Every structure is written in structure tokens, then in C-alpha cells.
Structure 1
């Protein structure tokens, strides 16, 4: 199916949002955690973004789906936003924003392994098999390059706890995405489904925040300005602008081309973390980042080739 026509300048801006903004959200979480506990930060982020999207849905008079679709969106939202992004926010208490982004770069491998119905298609390609093996080597290299000097608080043990939480978060994110793909009704707009997911993620994060005692410890008048700035950046630029740019781009450009943000985001996260908060990575972890991204490139190469051939045809 041919892609829609769109102004080139608008496409460039959308790619900049997906490449750069998503890469900087890891740093925004670090700033947000300077004033908010992790589950509360996630709850405020999702609920505020959800309210803004809800207002937009009313303005555009979007059609609201039935209960079955609401239920599917809510389940996928809880898995992706609470178990996925929320787990990353919790882990960034113990790892740097750059380290978190590099571990998240392994997410395409989890997709390949979890999407069983397409295994025959995936594992018939030597590009994908080679990419999986190289990516796995990169992950081992990254973990092997961890040391106390690269840990935010110099604590090697808690750094590993953070890595484990992020890896668990990638499993939740993939599970939620596959659930949404398999069970969501057709014809629901991205805006409506995102709105439902954000509210479900925000409500669940609020419950977790209350159960863990975060709401009793916070004093909003004592939250520093940099934490508020981090929260508002996550709401406006992360949960709204970048995400909506992504969902629009896949309607005007091949999804495989849009997915190249997987390679750019970790590099952006590492650079801004180093520039703004002096985060450090060992030379072995930097090498591991290159190896992981090479593995991701190889696993996606067949889909890139197919998408570009279809677009040319």
C-alpha cells in the first residue's frame, strides 16, 4: 500500500523528534528522580499526558471504542508503561541514563524471541540469526564492562539490580506490544488507544506508588525546579510529541525506516548524559553499544530490504 504524501520539512521534524527527543527522555528521568520517587514520577507523567490527549480526542470528536478494546488497550498500557517504561525509571536510580538506553537497545532481540508465530519467518534468515548472535555477544560484553566507576553511586551490586530490572522491563514492553497487536480492534485511532494506555499506566503506577509509601514521603513544595522540568519534559516531549511523531511517521514512511531510531536513541542518550550530568561509560561498554546496534541492524535488514523494495515498486 502506498504511503501518504507529506511535506518534506514536516517529515524531517518528525524524525528529529523520534531520534533526538526519545533519546533525551532517559536524561529527563534522571532529573525527574531528583524530586520524585520513581512510581510517582511515572504516575504523574502518564496521567498528565493522558488528560492532554483526552482533551485532544474531545476536540477532534474521536470515536470511543467498546469495552473489549478498552480492556485490551489497558492491559497493553499497563505492561508497556508500568512494567516497561516504569521499570526503566525505577532502574535509573542505580544506572546512568546512557546505560539504560544501551540495555533497552536489545529490545528488538526480545521481540524476535517472543513472537513465536513468526519464528519460521525469522529463523529462515541468516541475517537475523547472525544479528541475534552478535547482539547477544554485545550484551555479554556490556555487562562484562561494568565496574564501580561506571555506577552512579559507585555501587556495583545495585548497578546489576538496575540492569536486571531494565531487562525485565523489556520483556513486559514486548509482551504488551504483542498483546496489543493480537487483540486490539481495528479502526481505533492511535490517539484514542494511546489515551487509554496512558490512563491505565497512570492509575496502576499511582497504586504502586501508594503501596510503596511514596505518596506519604513527598512534599511537593520541596521538589526542586529541575525535577519539575524533567517531569514536564517527559509529559510534553516524551509521551506526546515524540510518540505522536512516531505513529504519524509510520503512515508516511516505511516502518523499517522509522525503526532506525533504535540505533540513534542510545547514542543520543550517552552523549547528553555525558554533557549534562557527566555520566561515565567504560570503554568496553561503549564498544558493546556498537556491537549491540550492529546486531539490531542485521536482524532488521530483511525487513528494511522488503520495505524499500515495496516503496520503490
Structure 2
């Protein structure tokens, strides 16, 4: 069984809203950011700005710095999740649309199921969780089948599939990092401090990748359009601060495979954002898929809701 600690139900609901809804909007923000920044540079700046804000707050509150063993866990998990996971997604969004990227990432709960061996009995022994994961994934397939398969402008079909493969690889990195943090990070370490260290490590690693791939060659900050700066700032405050911290906290109070059901709702939000801002159309099949996805999310979380209700009555 899991090792989750108890937490107020209202706080859990707010955190789930952040990873379900806010994270779904960040795929569009990446598209805007890429209009002025190369992908790894965008990630490096995003993580560095968020890390400075979080660690400055920790210094202001005089939080004790953790030992080297904790720092190592933060460094490894931060690089795996934020560089190997989110950074690769940003790179792939040069070749696929924001909605397509969110849809491919829907494989994440299944990767969690396969990798999180200590909870296999909990996952595979609960009909609601297993059924919900299958229903949600079926909704993603329906959603993908009902939309356009067009790639990003001026992108060939072959690079589109390279983008899909990169996103799937990034999903594996993200799961590995999340489980490494969840299994090895001291729960007494404040989430704001551990997240700040993870973001700083990811910023340095992304900066190294950016330099190694030649992204700084010929780059000029004064040529970056306003919409790219807006995308970057949105990623900093809403993606790296609000949603990411909500995720890293949620995996300490709920099984990671349940938290990862955000990947079922994120595609819906991502495509809705595309419809609202760039006039993409939704088909009736996509609308049906949204309903199926939400049913899957409710099923996977039903055991947790029931357990929380029983605790409140006790």
C-alpha cells in the first residue's frame, strides 16, 4: 500500500485543479514562448526565474538548508522531470501542436502503473482505479481520432512522429523523476524548498543543453516578441510555481498514478485553449471524448474520495 500522508480535502481539490486545468494551459504558453526562444533556452529561463523566486522566499523565511542526501534527490528528480520530461516536450512542440503534445502525454498514468511496483496490489486490485485508467485512455484515443492530425506549420510528417516519440520518452523521464522524489525525498522538507532546488538544477542542466546545441548563437533578447515574453512569464508563475508545486505535493498525499490522471484532462484544456486563441474547431467526437475522459478521472479518484469521506465520518 502507499505511504501517503493525510491532508485537508479542500487543499487536495485545489491542487488537483492546478494540475488538471492550469497545466493544460501551459502547452499553449510553450507555443507562444517558442516564437521567440529556442526550446532549451526557454526551459532554462523558465526554471531559473522560478527557482530564484522560490529560493529567495526560503531564505527570507530562514528555512534550514537540507543535507546533501536530500539535495541529491532533488537534483536527480528535478533534472529527470523538468529537463528530461518538460524540456523534451518543449523541444517536441516545434513539430507537433500543443493539443497533440498533451494527448501523447496521456500515456503517463500507464507508465506510472508499470513503474510504481510497490503499489501494484493497490492499483491492479481496485476495479475503480483500473477501470478509470482504461476509460480515460479510451477517451484520449477518441479525442485524438476526432481532431486534426496536422503538424506544426512547415513541419514534415516524419518530424511530427519524431516529436511524438520524444514526448513518449519524456514521459518515461518524468515518471522516473517523480517516483525517485516520492520514494526518497524526506517528507519533512518543505515543498517550496525541494521544488526550488529541483528547478535550479533543471535550469543549470537546461542551460548547458542550450549552449551545447548552439541555441545562443545569433540569439538576441531585444528581438524576442512580446508574446514570447508573455509565454515565458506564464510558464514561470503558472507552470513552474503553481502547477509544478501542486504536483510535487500531491504525489506525497495521493498515489502517483492517480495524480497523473491530469494527463487525461490536460488535452481537453489544451485544445480548448487552441480553439479560444487560434480559432481551432472542436468536433462532436472531441466533445464526446471530453465526457469520457472526465468519467475516467472520476472513477480513478473515487476510492480516494470514499476513503476521505469515511475518515471525516469517523
What range describes the TM-score normalised by the shorter chain of this pair? 0.7 to 0.9
What is the CA distance between 1:220 and its match in structure 2? 1.3
CA offsets, 1:288-312, max 9 Å, x none?
Answer: 5554454444333323322332234
Closer, same or farther: CA 44–217 of 1 in aligned 2, 3 Å: same
Closer, same or farther: CA 292–261 of 1 in aligned 2, 3 Å: closer
Aligned to 1:43: 44
Aligned to 1:188: 189
Paired residues of 1:108 and 1:296 also in contact (CA < 8 A):
no
Closer, same or farther: CA 145–12 of 1 in aligned 2, 3 Å: closer
Closer, same or farther: CA 277–79 of 1 in aligned 2, 3 Å: same
Q: Which runs of 5+ in 2 are unaligned?
A: none
Aligned to 1:161: 162
Greater mean deviation of Cα atoms: 228-237 or 70-79: 228-237
Aligned to 1:91: 92
Paired residues of 2:140 and 2:264 also in contact (CA < 8 A):
no
1:151 aligns with 2:151: yes
TM-score between both structures, scaled by the size of structure 2: 0.83
Closer, same or farther: CA 237–135 of 1 in aligned 2, 3 Å: closer
CA offsets, 1:83-111, max 9 Å, x none?
Answer: 11111111211222222223334422321
CA offsets, 1:230-264, max 9 Å, x none?
Answer: 1111112221234446667899xx858x9585554
Greater mean deviation of Cα atoms: 301-310 or 84-93: 301-310
1:217 aligns with 2:208: no
Paired residues of 1:99 and 1:281 also in contact (CA < 8 A):
no
TM-score between both structures, scaled by the size of structure 1: 0.83
CA distance in 1, matches of 2:278, 2:212: 31
CA offsets, 1:176-210, max 9 Å, x none?
Answer: 11101111123111011001100111111111111
1:70 aligns with 2:71: yes
CA distance in 2, matches of 1:91, 1:26: 11
Show the 5 A alignment for 1:1-313. Answer: 3=7, 18-141=19-142, 148=149, 150-153=150-153, 155-244=156-245, 255=254, 259=259, 264-279=265-280, 287-288=288-289, 290-313=291-314
What is the CA distance between 1:136 and its match in structure 2? 4.5
Closer, same or farther: CA 298–155 of 1 in aligned 2, 3 Å: farther
What is the CA distance between 1:217 and its match in structure 2? 3.5
CA distance in 2, matches of 1:15, 1:124: 24
CA offsets, 1:269-303, max 9 Å, x none?
Answer: 22111111234566656655554454444333323
CA distance in 1, matches of 2:148, 2:277: 21
What is the CA distance between 1:36 and its match in structure 2? 0.5
CA distance in 1, matches of 2:216, 2:113: 38
Paired residues of 2:103 and 2:144 also in contact (CA < 8 A):
no
Closer, same or farther: CA 19–227 of 1 in aligned 2, 3 Å: same
Paired residues of 1:98 and 1:279 also in contact (CA < 8 A):
no
Paired residues of 1:38 and 1:86 also in contact (CA < 8 A):
yes
Closer, same or farther: CA 202–279 of 1 in aligned 2, 3 Å: farther
Closer, same or farther: CA 272–119 of 1 in aligned 2, 3 Å: same
Paired residues of 1:23 and 1:269 also in contact (CA < 8 A):
yes
Closer, same or farther: CA 140–244 of 1 in aligned 2, 3 Å: closer
CA distance in 2, matches of 1:31, 1:129: 36
Alignment coverage as a number of residue pairs: 306
